[in-house]
Structures are given as structure tokens and as C-alpha cells.
Structure 1
Amino acid sequence: MPVITESDVRAALARVNDPEIRKPITELGMIKSVRVGDDASVDVEVYLTTAACPMRTEITDRVSKAVADVPGAGQVRVELDVMNDEQRTELRKSLRGDSAEPVIPFAQPGSLTRVYAVASGKGGVGKSSVTVNLAAAMAARGLSVGLLDADIYGHSIPRMLGTDARPTQVERMIMPPVAHNVKMISIAQFTKGNTPVVWRGPMLHRALQQFLADVFWGDLDVLLLDLPPGTGDIAISIAQLIPNAEILVVTTPQQAAAEVAERAGAIALQTRQRIVGVVENMSWMDLPDGTRMDVFGSGGGAAVAERLSRAVGADVPLLGQIPLEQAVREGGDDGMPIVLSAPESPAAKALQAISEKLAVRQRGLAGMSLSIDTTRHG
């Protein structure tokens, strides 16, 4: 039998990521001690960020499994402790730097995160369902995805992602819960039950600012913002806080809905944001006999894309048409997006195709210091 050492155990722990921060627990200063007994038993003490850490069971399980898989390991015991204030401060500094005021990382010139603000002219067109499924589809492809529920009054993202988890707070830094590999934040996580949010514009702006700056999103490929319907305070605040956010317009084929959706997209003329495209939802219903029923008419998505192209003087494509399926609604109620529960369904395939058209910024070595000494020796 191989003899297990403390270095073997620490090497295994370096492959254990914190479920919320998504970084190795060894890098985060979460390992308090490691002891290997004469009988090859292993005792590991782990620091939690807070006493009420909702991930304590998952962290314990991950540590236990990683150590148990080390050749020669005997019984594994994991004990939990809690970081003190000084340790939490060091953790926050290691993740966010030492700036007095948090900044919005997505608004910085060097940000590689693609930000999509999903907008609609009116409610009931399935904007949140589209947003959730696009996020889940991107995450399933291996992208690092965040989803901000910016619909403060009509928040629905936690239910649609099937989670009632609350964020963890480390000093002024908020750790967003993760559902279906999507990091997510919503005002619903800070209210009791189904309590309505009754705020005026300045409070909405401040809440968005906190969600963008105080939440530790990590290194995201894509951040999706589920905007409220219309062209009110939230849309204006997003344009101010993240000027580089691109607008994705959701409509139905119905002409009345399309006209209103056009207004939501045309706000880009005033905010000088780019419109990435139009998504037509509930485009048709496939009937058992193989025919299609245009429940909400036809042509609305194409009309919006055409009119917005003319208005902004640039091509605004119709990115896709999503058929009307009962399973989409059921997935929203059950917290299981259709792109995950029924990936071969027509609606799921349409959503996956749209997600693949939403580009991410390339991450390469260009402009990065490689710490290579180019001095000629000899």
C-alpha cells in the first residue's frame, strides 16, 4: 500500500473548488490544517467564510471525496471552522482588490465579459423564459455565465432556475448562488416570501449598482440582464452603468406586440447602445397532424428586425424563432429550463441556436505579460 503524506492531501485539496467562488479552496485560504495519522487516517479542518454558509455540506462532501481518492488514504474526517474578520478581509482583498469603493467590472475598458440586456416592449412575451434558457444553454456549452434579474418589480428568475438559495455575504462582497451552472442574483433573494418591491427610480438605480459592483461575479464570459418590459428607469440605468451592454429584443409574431417591442429596441438610439438582434418567441404551434398553427399571427419578429435596422442604420438580425411549446412553460414553473430537460425539442433547439449566435469575446495571450525574460545571456 502506498504511504499517504500531507503534501499528497494538500495536492488533492488544490483541486477542490469552492462552490460559490469557483476557485480552489487552497488559494482562498480555506484550509486550516491537515493531519495524517499513523493509521493513514486524514483529518482536515476547513474554514467557512461565514457561520451560516449555505454550501457547508457540499464543501464537506467535496473535501471528503477528494482526500478519499488519494492512494493510501484511510478514514477521512472533515471539521469546519469559521473565518475571523481579518481572514474575511484578506479573502475579499484577494478577490476584489483593496479599493475603498467597489467598481463595476463589466464597465471597465479591459473587460472580456459580453453583456446582453434582454428587453421587451411589453410583458407576457416570454422574455424571462428566453433569458433563462439562453443562460442555461450557454452554461451547458462550458461558458461562465451570470444572470442578473433586473426586473425588480416582476422578478421571476429564481423560480425559473429552480432555486431559493440566498446569497452569502463576505464583508461587503456578495456571493451569488449558482443554479444549473449559472451564477444568479435577484431582488427576490433579499425579500420575504412574495413581498412586492415598492421603490422609486433612485432606489432601483442603487440596487442595480450594488448587484453589478458588490456581487462577486468572477471571470464571466457572458452576463445576461433580464430587464423589465418597456423603456423606463431600469433601461436608462443599465445604459449609464454598463454603456457597452448590447440589447437583445424579444417579441412575439403579433403585430401589436412587435410595434411595442420596436420602441424598446429604439431606446438604443438615445443610449447609443448596440442592438445585437431580435428573438421571436411563440412563433407557431406544431399540431399532432404535422401542421402549424400561427397562434399569435406571423411576421412580427422580422418586422421589428427590419424597422430597427432602418432606424439605427445597421443590420439588426432576426436571430431565431421559438415555437410555442407547453414544456417551456412547465420548465419555467419547475425550475428546469427546456434546453436542459428536453434538449432535442424544437423549442430547445431554437434556443440553443440563438445562444450560439451570441458571441463571446476571445480570450487569448494578446496583451498579457508572460513573465518571460527576453534578455540575451551568454
Structure 2
Amino acid sequence: MSSTPTTDQVHKALATVQDPEIRRPITDLGMVKSVDIGDDGSVHVGIYLTVAGCPMRGRIEKDVTEAVTTVAGVTSVRVELDVMSDEQRKELQTKLRGGQAEKEIPFAKPNSLTKVFAVASGKGGVGKSSVTVNLAAAMAAQGHKVGVVDADIYGHSVPRMLGASDFPTKVEDMIIPPTAHDIKVISVGMFTQGNTPVVWRGPMLHRALQQFLSDVYWGDLDVLLMDLPPGTGDIAISVAQLLPTAELLVVTTPQQAAAEVAERAGSITAQTHQRVAGVIENMSYYEHAGERVHLFGEGGGQTVADALGRTLGTDIPLLGQIPLDTRLREGSDAGRPLILTDPGAEAARIIESIAETLVGRPRGLAGMQLGISPMRR
């Protein structure tokens, strides 16, 4: 006859359950309200949700039930959901901010280990957002913790391209971003109705970007990608002010006219003192009957890299040349990046190579502060 499970055993099982949005154990987040165990092995678990309309309530209830069921001696599990009080939410918010009650941009802190890449282009239509989304998917597939800020306020399209259909969850004045394909994503499109246009001027754009960086709980990211609007306007300037260590990725097509405009987008770093990580040439060629057809000309990417190198006085690499592939467009429309649907495609392999060049291997504990001190014997 099996023995009755203990409260400690149930709590250990609950520690394996993570909040689907925050990605931390529910025991660490103060979400376990109560654990009651009957003599017959029945277990009643009370769980606090962060907000009443939590979109993940079904997932949390399922994960808690499955975890507790694995404990020896448990005969049945009943989960009762409750909602955190205002005070509990404030405590959670402070905990997620590392004990800091005030808002701050974690990626701007001197000890931040997150690599930030601002993906820019001189003009629209060069596939900048498609490149951003597929780079994010490639980095996530390589084992990195990745976030994407859709900073293209007027032309936001990242949620559709990533298939991010869930809405952010608000905990006090902190925003929990939805996740798609293991990528955390935030966009102004998640806060507007339908296809309503965003009609904002500079100060409002700056504030929106600041909120995306300080109010959103990103957790411990390895990489943050920011999809910028085309050109060198308000958002590009705000990124330089809020995240001066962000590196620029310049996306262009082979066409010389596009390359000239892309060069101007990259040259902004001469004034903002940011680093250009490299140039990506998109729509480089089309494979037809075993031959490469250069529909938009040749050499634009290398032209931009060379010109920026002369302007900035440093070598700027051409990171890769991505071919035209209808599957890339189809995947973006369906919310399934090419990297995930057709990893063997030439375009996917090139994007994977670019991602690895930019961020390398997933980081371990090197450089992280563990909060421990040596002790004398």
C-alpha cells in the first residue's frame, strides 16, 4: 500500500511547473496559494493567477495537474484558481525587476549580457522584417533566449510573421510579452484594434519604445532584435539614446539605388557612436534551372559594406546574401518562419550562418553574477 504524499513532495513537483509567460517556476513567483492533502491521497492545490483574464489559465491548470499526479501516493488532483491581490502583484513586479521598484531598461545596464541588434534599412520593401523574424527563429533554434521588439511603429508586421496571436498580459504596470516559437515578442500592433493606423509624432514614438524596453518583462535574454522603421527618423535616434550599445544590422537589396539609401541608414552611427555589426543583402538572386538569376542586379550589399567601412573607418562585413525564395514569403504570411519549416533551404542555411556569426554559441554561466561569496575555512 502506497504511503500518503507529503506537502514537501507536492511542493517539489510544483517547482517543476513554469509560468508559460514569465518562464519561471510558479513556486518562485508566489503563485502557489495552498496545498491540501487528504488521507486517501487526494490533493487540492490552490493557484494564484497574475490577472483574472490570464490567457494561460488552462495551460497552468493542466501543467499543475500533470506535475502533482507524478508524486507517489497521489490518487487525484484538483486545482482551484484564484487571482492575486494588488499587493501580491506589486510584490511580483518588484521580484521580476530584481528587487528594483523603479523601472529601468535592463539592456542598458553596464552588466547586461544581452546582445542587442537594431535591424535597419534605408527604404521599405527590402525584406527587413522577414530577415529579423527569421534571424530570431534561427537564434532560438540554436538554443538562445531571444526577444523581438517590433519598433516599426507605423509598419508593424512582426506579430503576423511570427504567428504571435496572443495578447500581452499586464501585471500592475509591467507587461508580460506573448511567446511564439520560443521567441518573446512585443509590438504596438498588439495594442491597436484591427488594422488601425498609428498616427504619432516623435515624443510619443520615443515613449512607446521606452515602454517596450522598460515596462516589458523580458527575463534573461541572450539576444534582443529590434525591427526598426526604414530610414533615419525618430525611432533610430531614440534607439541610440535609450540603448547606445545596440549594434546596427543594415539590410539592403543588390540594387544600387537601394544600396545608396541603405548606406545613409548605416552612416547614422557616425553621429550616434554605435557599432555596425554588418550588412545583409536580401533578394540577392533567384535559382532557376540550376542557374542564379540576379533580378535586382549585383553587388549592392558589398557596396554598402565598403562605403560604411570608409565612412566609419573600420571593416564592415557583408554577413550574407539571402536568395529570393517564395517559401520565405509564404512562411511570413503564415506566421511560420522559413528557418523552422524548411531548414534545408538555401535561404534558411544562409540565415542560420548569419545568426551564428552574430551571437555564436549559447552562453553558459561565464560572466554571470551568481550572488555568492567565497568563505574562509
Partners of 2:76 and 2:184 lie apart in 1 by 34
CA distance change for structure 1 residues 132 and 369 in 2, over 3 Å: closer, same or farther?
closer
Partners of 2:368 and 2:172 lie apart in 1 by 33
1:50-89 → structure 2 map (5 Å cutoff):
50-89=51-90
CA distance change for structure 1 residues 367 and 298 in 2, over 3 Å: closer, same or farther?
closer
Amino acid aligned to 2:237: I
Partners of 1:373 and 1:351 lie apart in 2 by 43
Partners of 2:373 and 2:258 lie apart in 1 by 57
Partners of 1:253 and 1:373 lie apart in 2 by 56
**1:189-229 deviation digits (Å, cap 9, x = unpaired):** 10000000000001000110111111111111100000000
1:325-364 → structure 2 map (5 Å cutoff):
325-359=325-359, 364=365
**1:318-368 deviation digits (Å, cap 9, x = unpaired):** 111111000000010000000001111111111111110112695545574
CA distance change for structure 1 residues 373 and 310 in 2, over 3 Å: closer, same or farther?
closer
CA distance change for structure 1 residues 152 and 13 in 2, over 3 Å: closer, same or farther?
same
Amino acid aligned to 1:83: M
Amino acid aligned to 1:72: G
Aligned to 1:311: 311
**1:286-322 deviation digits (Å, cap 9, x = unpaired):** 11x2111111111111111111111111111011111
Amino acid aligned to 1:226: D
Amino acid aligned to 1:303: T
Displacement of 1:95: 1.0
Paired residues of 2:47 and 2:79 also in contact (CA < 8 A) = yes
Amino acid aligned to 1:150: A
Displacement of 1:39: 2.3
Amino acid aligned to 2:230: P
Displacement of 1:373: 4.4
RMSD of Structure 2 on Structure 1 (CA): 1.5
Aligned to 2:142: 141
CA distance change for structure 1 residues 350 and 367 in 2, over 3 Å: closer, same or farther?
closer
Displacement of 1:374: 3.3
Partners of 2:85 and 2:123 lie apart in 1 by 48
**1:208-265 deviation digits (Å, cap 9, x = unpaired):** 0111111111111100000000010000000000000000000111111111111101
User: Does 1:45 find its partner at 2:42?
Assistant: no
Partners of 1:278 and 1:136 lie apart in 2 by 19
- Larger mean CA deviation between 95-104 and 4-13 belongs to 95-104
Give 5+ residue unaligned stretches, structure 2.
Answer: none
Amino acid aligned to 1:332: S
Partners of 2:155 and 2:366 lie apart in 1 by 42
Partners of 2:227 and 2:84 lie apart in 1 by 35
Aligned to 1:291: 291
Paired residues of 1:327 and 1:338 also in contact (CA < 8 A) = yes
Partners of 2:2 and 2:344 lie apart in 1 by 47
- Larger mean CA deviation between 290-299 and 271-280 belongs to 290-299
Identity of aligned residues (%): 63
Aligned to 1:208: 209
Displacement of 1:92: 0.8
Aligned to 2:32: 31
Paired residues of 1:112 and 1:363 also in contact (CA < 8 A) = no
Paired residues of 1:331 and 1:337 also in contact (CA < 8 A) = yes
Paired residues of 1:176 and 1:215 also in contact (CA < 8 A) = yes
Number of residue pairs aligned between Structure 1 and Structure 2: 375
Paired residues of 1:20 and 1:178 also in contact (CA < 8 A) = yes
Paired residues of 2:94 and 2:101 also in contact (CA < 8 A) = no
TM-score scaled by length of structure 2: 0.96
1:1-378 → structure 2 map (5 Å cutoff):
2-3=2-3, 4-97=5-98, 99=100, 101-287=102-288, 289-359=289-359, 364=365, 366=367, 368=369, 371-376=372-377
CA distance change for structure 1 residues 29 and 299 in 2, over 3 Å: closer, same or farther?
same
CA distance change for structure 1 residues 367 and 75 in 2, over 3 Å: closer, same or farther?
closer
Give 5+ residue unaligned stretches, structure 1.
Answer: none
Is the partner of 1:358 in helix, strand or coil?
helix
Displacement of 1:71: 2.9
